[in-house]
């Protein structure tokens, strides 16, 4: 379930391409995300997948004709486009794209799109030669001029056996674009840097000091900010999570690398969110060869790593157009007091405090329980929420301060 897609009305228009079968899975995925899906199909599309399948999967009547109006029904080509939050055309054939580019309305799908005021996402899918043909290229350029979002097809092996562009875009890419299209673009024009994940501090070629951070919170923040229209750079320590669509990722390993990367971009940013769990210390000495087992009792000298947040806070007072600074504090004792101290001490605008003792939230999980404190003394205690929802609430608080 995605709280952003929950109860959103998606009108899925299917045209007659070989990839039409994939829309059965897409319909299920949208419903699992809580969306209400209504399907309309061209005549050719019904040769590839049946309206019965899509009616069963969407739980709604499937619309196939402009002229099939029951007595009590409104005109489908007008009503369908009016009653939805977004139209998704997938797969969009070369033929349907040409119809739309020229304003033709001789079938239900093209008539609905021409009569609709909702946002339109178009996913072309066809043979690579058809896709690269100047006619298709011009038609797609026109659709973009009309304000429709065209999600480019993926490259790879096509149904006809050719290699190249033309495969229907991957579902996760399309899902992200749907969410971006229905999410208010209230961070448009803002540049946001997010740090994420743990850092690794090498002791020798094999062993390292690190922590239990997974990167999930930082990645959720980067994805949410990008969906709300921000330009996002994410400086990420080692993490196995797939980077969010549309976010520029700078991969680093150690705290010192993270420090250097953040310094490089910091002055150009409107907001910096330090969600990474940066190691406070590193081994004072790096052993070029693996440390051998032998002594039973030994000690490990440590050197403090740069305090990136403190440095950014210090620089703020010298700069007039300083970025808004958001810190994270993972505390196991007196978490509110500690958070308050860090907020003032490091000259932050906002701090998100995690009580790492809470059993249902924390490092590797999908949920988090966060308290937000801002520099004006506002306290927002959040219930247990998905990290995605926590990310949006933090961005709301940032927006209030911007
Ligand atoms: C087996 C088969 C696969 C096809 N796959 C595609 C395709 O992937 N993309 C495309 O643009 N046309 C494809 N076509 C051609 C379209 O079905 C044809 O242009 C049709 O008129 C499209 O109608 P529509 O846009 O109204 O759905 C395919 C045709 C056949 C017979």
45 C-beta closer than 6 A to ligand 1: yes
Instruction: Give, for ligand 1, the residue of 14, 16, 124 to mutate: max count of ligand atoms closer than 8 Å to Cβ.
Output: 16
84 is catalytic: no
Residue-level pLDDT at 83: 86
Beta-ladder partners of 271: 192, 324
CA-CA distance, 363 to 159, in Å (whole number)? 42
Residue-level pLDDT at 79: 83
Residue ranges of the chain that CATH labels 3.40.50.1950: 9-182
Rounded mean pLDDT, 129-158: 93
Ligand 1 centre distance from Cα of residue 111 (Å): 19
Long-range contacts of 109-112 (CB under 8 A, 24+ apart): 109/13, 109/14, 109/15, 109/40, 109/41, 109/42, 111/66, 111/77, 112/11, 112/13, 112/40, 112/76, 112/77, 112/80, 112/81, 112/87
> What is the per-residue pLDDT across 205-263, written as a single tens digit (0 to 9) for each?
999 999 888 899 999 999 999 989 999 999 999 999 988 888 999 999 999 999 999 99
Check whether 164 has a pLDDT greater than 80. no
Residue 377 falls in which region: left (phi positive, over 0), alpha (psi -120 to 50) or beta: left
Check whether 358 has a pLDDT greater than 70. no
pTM (predicted TM-score): 0.70
Strand 231-236 to 248-251 pairing: parallel
124 C-beta closer than 6 A to ligand 1: no
Residue-level pLDDT at 197: 94
Residue-level pLDDT at 2: 72
Rounded mean pLDDT, 101-114: 96
> What is the per-residue pLDDT across 33-66, written as a single tens digit (0 to 9) for each?
999 999 999 999 999 999 999 999 999 999 999 8
Residue-level pLDDT at 364: 63
Ligand 1 centre distance from Cα of residue 70 (Å): 30
Residue ranges of the chain that CATH labels 3.40.50.10300: 191-401
Residue-level pLDDT at 72: 62
| Of 89 and 386, the one with more pLDDT | 89
CA nearest neighbour of 235 among 185, 309, 172, 332: 309
Atom 5 of ligand 1 has which residue's CA nearest to it?
A: 17
Check whether 73 has a pLDDT greater than 70. no
The owner of tokens 């990290």 is 387
CA-CA distance, 228 to 395, in Å (whole number)? 9
Residue-level pLDDT at 298: 82
Ligand 1 centre distance from Cα of residue 93 (Å): 6
> What is the per-residue pLDDT across 262-283, written as a single tens digit (0 to 9) for each?
999 898 999 999 999 999 999 9
Residue-level pLDDT at 363: 61
CATH number, domain 9-182: 3.40.50.1950
CATH number, domain 191-401: 3.40.50.10300
| Of 396 and 321, the one with more pLDDT | 396
Residue-level pLDDT at 402: 87
Check whether 343 has a pLDDT greater than 80. yes
16 C-beta closer than 6 A to ligand 1: yes
Atom 29 of ligand 1 has which residue's CA nearest to it?
A: 17
125 C-beta closer than 6 A to ligand 1: yes
């Amino acid at each position: 379930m995605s709280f952003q897609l929950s109860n959103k009305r998606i009108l899925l228009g299917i045209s007659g391409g070989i990839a039409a079968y994939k829309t059965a899975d897409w319909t299920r995925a949208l419903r699992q995300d809580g969306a209400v899906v209504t399907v309309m199909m061209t005549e050719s599309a019904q040769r590839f997948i049946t309206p019965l399948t899509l009616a069963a999967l969407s739980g709604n009547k499937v619309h196939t004709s402009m002229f099939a109006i029951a007595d009590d029904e409104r005109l489908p080509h007008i009503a369908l486009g009016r009653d939805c939050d977004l139209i998704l055309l997938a797969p969009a054939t070369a033929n349907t794209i040409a119809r739309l580019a020229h304003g033709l309305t001789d079938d239900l799908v093209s008539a609905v799109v021409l009569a609709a005021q909702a946002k339109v996402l178009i996913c072309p899918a066809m043979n690579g030669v058809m896709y690269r043909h100047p006619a298709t290229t011009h038609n797609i350029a026109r659709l973009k001029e009309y304000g429709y979002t065209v999600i480019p097809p993926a490259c790879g092996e096509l149904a006809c056996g050719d290699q190249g562009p033309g495969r229907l875009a991957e579902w996760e890419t399309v899902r992200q674009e749907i969410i971006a299209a229905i999410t208010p673009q209230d961070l448009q024009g803002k540049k946001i840097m997010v740090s994420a994940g743990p850092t690794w501090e090498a002791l020798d070629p094999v062993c390292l000091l690190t922590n239990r951070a997974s990167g999930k919170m930082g990645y959720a923040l980067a994805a949410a900010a990008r969906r709300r229209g921000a330009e996002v750079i994410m400086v990420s320590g080692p993490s196995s999570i797939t980077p969010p669509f549309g976010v520029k990722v700078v991969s680093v390993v150690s705290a010192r690398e993270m420090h250097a990367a953040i310094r490089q971009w910091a002055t150009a940013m409107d907001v910096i969110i330090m969600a990474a769990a940066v190691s406070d210390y590193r081994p004072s000495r790096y052993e070029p060869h693996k440390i051998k087992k032998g002594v039973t009792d030994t000690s490990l000298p440590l050197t403090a790593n740069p305090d990136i947040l403190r440095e950014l806070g210090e620089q703020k007072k010298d700069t007039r157009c300083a970025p808004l600074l958001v810190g994270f504090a993972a505390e196991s004792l007196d978490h509110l007091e500690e958070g308050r101290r860090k907020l003032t001490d490091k000259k932050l605008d906002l701090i998100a405090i995690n009580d790492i003792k809470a059993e249902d939230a924390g490092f590797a999980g999908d949920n988090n329980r966060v308290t937000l404190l801002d520099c004006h003394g506002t306290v927002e205690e959040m219930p247990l929420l998905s990290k995605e929802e926590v990310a949006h609430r933090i961005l709301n608080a940032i927006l209030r301060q911007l």
